[in-house]
Copies of this chain bind each other. A is one copy, B any other.
Amino acid sequence: MKPLQIADKTFTSRLFTGTGKFRDIATMQAAVEASGSELVTVALTRVATQGDVDERLTALEASEINLLPNTSGVRDAKEAIFAAQLAREALGTNWIKLEIHPDPKYLLPDPVETLKATEALVKEGFVVMPYIQADPVLCKRLEAVGAQCVMPLGAPIGSNKGLRTQDFLEIIIEQSNVPVIVDAGIGAPSHASWAMELGADAVLVNTAIAVSPDPVTMAKAFEMAVQCGRMAYESGLASTHPHASASSPFTSFLTE
């Protein structure tokens, strides 16, 4: 498989994961390792509110894994910019996963504030990875102001419904000049393969791994799913056919 380039980093793994919702830190650490992920989100609020780097971070920092602070919890561009600055200071990284969701129920992203914050943060030297609706026009605008990738959702966050936005993801993938990373909605390995088969550059999976009864096995399963989906994409998949055709040669030899 081809490696993935975002900004100045090259990734062998196309599975990004997160640190939230695990039952304990040892499980989180083992699952992240099993996933093979080289980029792992961490809610910056864990850093900022505790005034110190917590155990979670210590556990990951020992490894080669890149931390990706996210702005989860902010409600507009101003809060997001402040949060990104805090994260840069606390974690020493200029990468930021931008999540701006004013509605606490569905946590859906705000397109207008996300564009505004992306533009400002890029100017401050951040590598911005914005979480957004599967909105092809917004993706092009984010690209235009310097987003290093786009992170459209597959389905409402936490719904595990897969790629309900497939029609729009296909357009985004067709038009994008930056990597497309499907975020939210991926609840099973088959969803991750599906995203990769469509041509997504990577997927981000957190909940489905963290809340599994066996997060380590599930992390490994997602790693394989991302790989096989990508292999299929690079090899070339068959299209769907409205009419059937036989997979075995049809013959009437026995009746002649």
Residue A167, interface by CB 8 Å = yes
Interface residues of A in 229-249 (CB under 8 A from B): 229, 231-232, 234-249
* Interface pair A171/B238, CB less than 8 Å apart: no
* Interface pair B228/A224, CB less than 8 Å apart: yes
Chain B proximity of A180: nearest CB distance (Å): 16
Contact with B along A198-219 (1 / 0, CB 8 A): 0000000011101111100110
* Interface pair B137/A171, CB less than 8 Å apart: no
Which residues of the other chain, B, contact A111 by a CB distance below 8 angstroms? Answer: 111-112, 135, 137-138
Give the interface residue-count category, chain A. Answer: 35 or more
CA distance A45 to B189 in the complex (A): 38
* Interface pair B79/A108, CB less than 8 Å apart: no
CA distance A165 to B240 in the complex (A): 16
A164-B167 contact given A79-B254, A137-B103, CB 8 Å threshold: yes
Interface residues of A in 94-118 (CB under 8 A from B): 99, 101-112, 115
* Interface pair A221/B235, CB less than 8 Å apart: yes
Chain B proximity of A60: nearest CB distance (Å): 16
Chain B proximity of A35: nearest CB distance (Å): 12
Please give me the residue from chain B that is nearest to A99 by CB atom. Answer: B248
* Interface pair B104/A250, CB less than 8 Å apart: yes
Residue A53, interface by CB 8 Å = no
Residue A179, interface by CB 8 Å = no
CA distance A223 to B255 in the complex (A): 37
Contact with B along A53-82 (1 / 0, CB 8 A): 000000000000000001011110001001
